[in-house]
Amino acid sequence: MKWVVLVFIALYLGALALLAIGTFGWLGQERDPLSGVFLVPLGLPWNRLAEGLGWGGVVSGMLAPAVNAALLWGLWKGRRRTAG
């Protein structure tokens, strides 16, 4: 379970880095309006819920994967507590 959490967090950080690089044109890249597309599948279902509630936007798109990361972290810690 630890590896699932670490891989998810690594993917999340990578998607945030790609968003920043594509949005601001860092590292010689052209500005790309679709640079945040990798955050969408990582944030499901929370980004869909936020959109349905009228909270859709860049910030909710960036924070939705953090909810999944927190849930995975909590499951991992809870599993360690009950197994030990």
State the pTM of this model: 0.86
Looking at residue 7, its pLDDT comes to 97
The domains of the chain are located at: 2-83
Looking at residue 8, its pLDDT comes to 97
Cα-Cα-Cα-Cα dihedral of 20, 21, 22, 27, to 10°?
Answer: 160
Q: What is the pLDDT of residues 3-28, one digit of tens each?
A: 999 999 999 999 999 999 999 989 88
- Tokens found for residue 84: 């030990």
pLDDT above 80 for 42: yes
Looking at residue 79, its pLDDT comes to 82
Q: Average pLDDT, stretch 44-70?
A: 94
Rg, Å, the chain Cα set: 15
